[in-house]
Amino acid sequence: MIKPEVVADHNQKQAPTLEADYAALGEKLARRGVDIEQLTRAADTFAVALPSWGVGTGGTRFARFPGPGEPRNIFEKLDDCSVIHQLSQATPTVSLHIPWDRPDDPKALLEYAQARNLAFDAMNSNTFQDQADQAYSYKYGSLTHTSEAVRQQAIEHNVEVVELGKKLGSKALTVWIGDGSNFPGQQHFRNSFAHYLDSARAIYDALPDDWNMLLEHKMFEPAFYSTVIQDWGSSYLAARETGERCLSLVDLGHHAPNVNIEMIVSRLAQFGKLGGFHFNDSKYGDDDLDSGSIDPYQLFLVFNELVDIQQADSAFAPFYMLDQSHNVTDPIESLMYSAAEVQRAFVKALLVDREALLGYQNSSDPLMAQATLKQAFNLDVEPVLQMARQRAGGAIDPIAAYRASEYRQSVARDRPQSGQSGSGIV
Ligand code: LRH
Ligand code: MN
Ligand code: MN
């Protein structure tokens, strides 16, 4: 971790500016009837999981450019995750991808994480790639393959991931499969979906009672003609058929451009089937760009729905994870920045005057309805985020504190370049 003195020194320099900005924002919010202290406490409750593989250099299908000091194993990945949480105070959990980050000794990994104030979030299985020691290939599918033996192998992998997650204190399994087809006629649509339902049920049967199973849909890629779980409709149907604790997970990058994702969020939640999110941003497809880097308004609109649902149902608590691939930035910086962007969207959504909004909706005043949303979105809530971080022991400006700490330079000396980490394929 970064030396506490480095963070304290950084905060001390920034504190006077923050105090002034916070006081000014507090006055402004008070004129709107909002208590800034309440908002700051709410900001502090925000948490999003880090993807274990996200601290390595990701990349595209074409190339990857490993940076200095990349973590060489899951323990070093946890070291980086703990730095992200130390400075951002918004990322207390890590989501593992198996087999990319399968620990040899789960107990040792759990202790290592606990010593760094980290816990484990949803487990991610992987049947979209062949592993060295597996009997059957997933070239033509996994959970939906025409061969029962292949399906069984994929089911067993998921069950193994659940068993591992139990040892680590996780409470959810996220299932994303790349199964689909590249040619019209290649795959029988109903049969492959029927196989998916059977496989999903078999996995669900192995879940502990206090676990959720999260089904992640994606429109296309690696299959380019059809994908078995291609949209929220298929995801919803599968979750409904599989069981009560089986829910849909929305990855923001997994939809066609211009799709109204906030409305998907609302639909799934209305029927009790919204279970989680993978946050990222995109311009063209599943780009895995940093959250809020392309369309922060969309992120805000998603949180506008989430806050609205949360206020109606206090038990609503979806799993949140950042799912980004970093090829041109330091992943630690990108993940800290992204966590703050998602937190910012959450805080702004809390500022929406819901009573006024409902009034404008009911009196058919679209201009004022959207102006009510914009009033919240356009307000700069940075001082609230900074104050929440500082009070929790994090950095007022996480990127500046991180650069001042020279953490990357220091790990670069201890970790010779491997070029191995990160997925680089999705
Ligand atoms: C698929 C996906 C899914 C995988 C991750 C690496 O595109 O979003 O969540 O597990 O990428
Ligand atoms: Mn995802
Ligand atoms: Mn994806």
DSSP characters over 325-361: --SSS-HHHHHHHHHHHHHHHHHHHHTS-HHHHHHHH
Q: Give the confidence band of 416 by pLDDT, cuts at 50, 70, 90.
A: confident
> Is 282 contained in some domain?
yes
> Is 41 contained in some domain?
no
> Is 19 contained in some domain?
no
List Cα–Cα distances, 252 to 148, 302, 403, in angstroms.
Answer: 32, 10, 29
- The string of DSSP letters for 401-420 reads HHHHHTHHHHHHHHS-----
Model pLDDT, residue 418? 61
Q: Is 324 in the pocket of ligand 1 (CB under 6 A)?
A: no
ipTM above 0.90, yes or no: yes
> Is 179 contained in some domain?
yes
For the CA of 253, the closest atom of ligand 1 is 8
Model pLDDT, residue 419? 52
Model pLDDT, residue 421? 45
What CATH number should be reported for the domain holding residue 273?
A: 3.20.20.150
Q: State the Cα–Cα distance between residues 403 and 399, nearest whole angstrom.
A: 6
Model pLDDT, residue 426? 42
pTM of the model: 0.97
Closest residue (by CA) to atom 7 of ligand 1? Answer: 426
Residues in the chain: 426
Please tell me what DSSP assigns to residue 224: S
Mean pLDDT of 90-102: 97
Q: What is the pLDDT of residues 341-374, one digit of tens each?
A: 999 999 999 999 999 999 999 999 999 999 999 9
Domain total in the chain: 1
Q: What is the pLDDT of residues 22-73, one digit of tens each?
A: 999 999 999 999 999 999 999 999 999 999 999 987 777 788 888 899 999 9
How does the average pLDDT of the chain come out, rounded?
96
> Is 404 contained in some domain?
no
Model pLDDT, residue 56? 87
Q: State the Cα–Cα distance between residues 219 and 231, nearest whole angstrom.
A: 6
What residues are neighbours of ligand 3 (ion), with CB under 5 Å? 286
**pLDDT surpasses 50 at 142:** yes
Q: Is 217 in the pocket of ligand 1 (CB under 6 A)?
A: no
- Testing ligand 1's pocket by substitution, the residue of 95, 123, 218 carrying the most ligand atoms inside 8 A of its CB is 218
Model pLDDT, residue 59? 76
Q: What is the pLDDT of residues 163-206, one digit of tens each?
A: 999 999 999 999 999 999 999 999 999 999 999 999 999 999 99
**Residue span of the structural domain in which 345 resides:** 47-352
> Is 414 contained in some domain?
no
Model pLDDT, residue 64? 83
CB atoms under 10 Å from CB of 364, counted, come to 7
For the CA of 251, the closest atom of ligand 1 is 8
Model pLDDT, residue 327? 86
Mean pLDDT of 220-229: 97
In 89-177, alpha helices (H): 106-114, 148-168
**pLDDT surpasses 60 at 299:** yes
In the chain, the largest separation of any two C-alpha atoms, in whole Å, equals: 66
Q: Is 101 in the pocket of ligand 1 (CB under 6 A)?
A: no
- Testing ligand 1's pocket by substitution, the residue of 142, 216, 287 carrying the most ligand atoms inside 8 A of its CB is 216
Kindly state the percentage of the chain with pLDDT values over 90.
Answer: 93
Mean pLDDT of 281-294: 96
- The string of DSSP letters for 28-65 reads HHHHTT--HHHHHHHHHT---BEEGGGGS----SS---
Q: State the Cα–Cα distance between residues 288 and 221, nearest whole angstrom.
A: 13
**pLDDT surpasses 90 at 423:** no
Closest residue (by CA) to atom 2 of ligand 1? Answer: 426
Element spanning 227, H or E: strand 226-227
> Is 153 contained in some domain?
yes
> Is 323 contained in some domain?
yes
Q: Is 288 in the pocket of ligand 1 (CB under 6 A)?
A: no
Residue reference for tokens 């078999």 = 202
Model pLDDT, residue 103? 95
Q: What is the pLDDT of residues 104-125, one digit of tens each?
A: 999 999 999 999 999 999 999 9
